[in-house]
Amino acid sequence: LNRRLAEFGTTIFAEMSALAVRTGSINLGQGFPDTDGPEEVREAAVRALRDGRGNQYPPGPGVPELRAAIAAHQRDRYGLGFDPDTEVLVTAGATEAIAAALLALVEPGDEVVALEPYYDSYAACIAMAGGTRVPVTLRPREGAYVLDPDELRGAVTDRTRVILLNTPHNPTGTVLGREELAAVAELAAERDLLVVTDEVYEHLVFDGEHTPIATLPGMRERTVTIGSAGKTFSFTGWKVGWVTGSRELVAAVRSAKQYLTYVASGPFQYAVAEALRLPAGYFEEFRADMRAKRDLLADGLEQAGFRVFRPAGTYFITTDIRPLGESDGFAFCRALPERAGVVAIPNAVFYDHREQGAPFVRFAFCKRKAVLEEAVARLKTLG
Ligand code: PMP
Ligand code: GLN
């Protein structure tokens, strides 16, 4: 393994899901739903397969139907106009979009400022691009993690090329508000930075609303926005994601993307095009269902003795385990399957400043109600 990747072992998600299977535990670790997305979307995938749409290499930028649907989604929801032919790119999940964006935009030696805790692939992709990550730590304050704009400003140097955002934020559940985004936008304009923003949980906001930073004045031209059908439609195995942005930025991302996978997910692209056209009711129900699950698990974790950061968005809850007399999230998560038959993720893996994440543990709530209830019952035996 080369030096760039030497610090990255197996992803925590693979490790913890394997542990869940091995111990027969309830897996609230890796974030994937235990119920597949809408029947009509699955049927659309079957139709595409049967009709021979997408069974051979689809066009490099993605099938036209899907690019049109993505452009319509950005326009109808956020008032963002993108040309489906030049400003939209379909990727193999958001994961490839993140990789391709960083590989395309970061020069070796460039610094990438990323919110900490950060999703694990950011660190690995910055490293693969030869960049240096500069974490800006979100601070736990009164039940939520917040971004300090001064800390962000202090992290930018002459070598900074990209600010890598994630809102709604995994694992903290923080949703960046207009004020915080305006501070990011101001900084980006002032220092001539690009913003890569991972908005895969855009439809999972329970308190407040999702604001794409690309909608702020002057930001459309310097922002690469990333979305994912895996999250929005509960098909994480299909690996359909996308990028929207200016023609120039999307062309750059496409240059890298074409040599990573070239193309992926042919028939699923047609199905996701139909999914994006589902009536507003789908998105509302999806959000309401997840909100109820958030409350069920958050209440249960509180009753079990955890301190809970009730997330404004995503399908993750970050908890503080210190009220349980614990301080090491790694040790806690390693022991949890034996102690309670539940798997969770230690937040420390998402930090460079590991001590900042040490006493925090993440639980996913994208699971059936009965599963969450059983998990809560088991966690209550911990005390
Ligand atoms: N970004 C974030 C913040 C995520 O949580 C995930 C999925 N866990 C991804 C990207 C990857 O998305 P995809 O499955 O579409 O590759
Ligand atoms: N994004 C998912 C999570 O945070 C995991 C995806 C993966 O396994 N790479 O749990």
CATH number, domain at 67?
Answer: 3.40.640.10
21 and 162 belong to one structural domain: no
Cβ of 347 closer than 6 Å to ligand 2, yes or no, is no
Q: What is the pLDDT of residue 270?
A: 98
Q: Which of 276, 307, 322 is the last residue of a domain?
A: 276
Cβ of 314 closer than 6 Å to ligand 2, yes or no, is no
CA 13 – ligand 2 centroid, Å: 6
Tokens standing for residue 333: 């998560």
Cβ of 223 closer than 6 Å to ligand 2, yes or no, is no
The answer to whether position 7 is within a domain reads no
The answer to whether position 6 is within a domain reads no
In the chain, alpha helices (H): 12-23, 39-50, 64-78, 93-105, 120-128, 149-155, 178-190, 229-232, 247-260, 266-276, 280-303, 329-340, 354-357, 369-379
CB 91 within 8 A of CB 195: no
The answer to whether position 47 is within a domain reads yes
142 and 235 belong to one structural domain: yes
Q: How far is CA 198 from the centre of its chain?
A: 6
Q: Pairing state of beta strands 111-116 and 160-166? A: parallel
Ligand 2 pocket: which of 11, 32, 239, 349 to mutate (most atoms within 8 A of CB): 32
Please, what is the Cα angle at 206 between 203 and 212, to 5 degrees? 45
Give the mean pLDDT per block of 10 residues along the chain (383 residues). Answer: 90 93 96 97 98 98 98 98 98 98 98 97 97 98 95 98 98 97 98 98 97 98 98 98 98 98 98 98 98 98 98 98 97 96 97 96 98 98 88
Q: Pairing state of beta strands 342-343 and 223-228? A: unpaired
Q: What is the pLDDT of residue 262?
A: 97
The answer to whether position 335 is within a domain reads yes
Write the CB contacts of 149 (distance below 8 Å, at least 6 apart in sequence): 180, 183, 184, 187
Cβ of 236 closer than 6 Å to ligand 2, yes or no, is no
Q: What is the pLDDT of residue 142?
A: 87
Q: What is the pLDDT of residue 9?
A: 86
343 and 367 belong to one structural domain: yes
Tokens standing for residue 84: 């489906």
CB 197 within 8 A of CB 224: yes
Neighbour-count burial for 111-149, b at 16+ CB within 10 Å, e otherwise: bbbbbbbbbbbbbbbbbbbebbbbbbbbebeeebbebeb
158 and 175 belong to one structural domain: yes
User: Which atom of ligand 1 lies closest to the CA of 241?
Assistant: 15
Q: How far is CA 312 from the centre of its chain?
A: 14
271 and 291 belong to one structural domain: no
Please tell me the total count of domains within the chain. 2
Return d(Cα 313, Cα 208) in angstroms, integer.
Answer: 9
340 and 222 belong to one structural domain: no
Cβ of 330 closer than 6 Å to ligand 2, yes or no, is no
CA 246 – ligand 1 centroid, Å: 22
Q: Is the dihedral of CA 22, 24, 29, 30 positive or negative?
A: positive
Q: Pairing state of beta strands 360-364 and 316-320? A: antiparallel
Residues at CB less than 6 angstroms from ligand 1: 31, 93-95, 119, 166, 170, 198, 200, 228, 230, 236, 241
105 and 90 belong to one structural domain: yes
Cβ of 234 closer than 6 Å to ligand 2, yes or no, is no
Ligand 2 pocket: which of 30, 121, 228, 239 to mutate (most atoms within 8 A of CB): 30
CA 229 – ligand 1 centroid, Å: 10
Host domain of residue 338? 12-30+281-379
Amino acid letter, 152: L
352 and 234 belong to one structural domain: no
Return d(Cα 366, Cα 336) in angstroms, integer.
Answer: 19
CA 266 – ligand 1 centroid, Å: 19
Kindly report whether the global pTM for this prediction surpasses the value 0.95. Answer: yes
The bound ligand whose nearest atom lies closest to the alpha carbon of 242 is 1
Q: What is the pLDDT of residue 259?
A: 98
The answer to whether position 5 is within a domain reads no
73 and 114 belong to one structural domain: yes
CA 215 – ligand 1 centroid, Å: 22
CA 94 – ligand 1 centroid, Å: 5
Provide the 8-state DSSP code for 196.
E
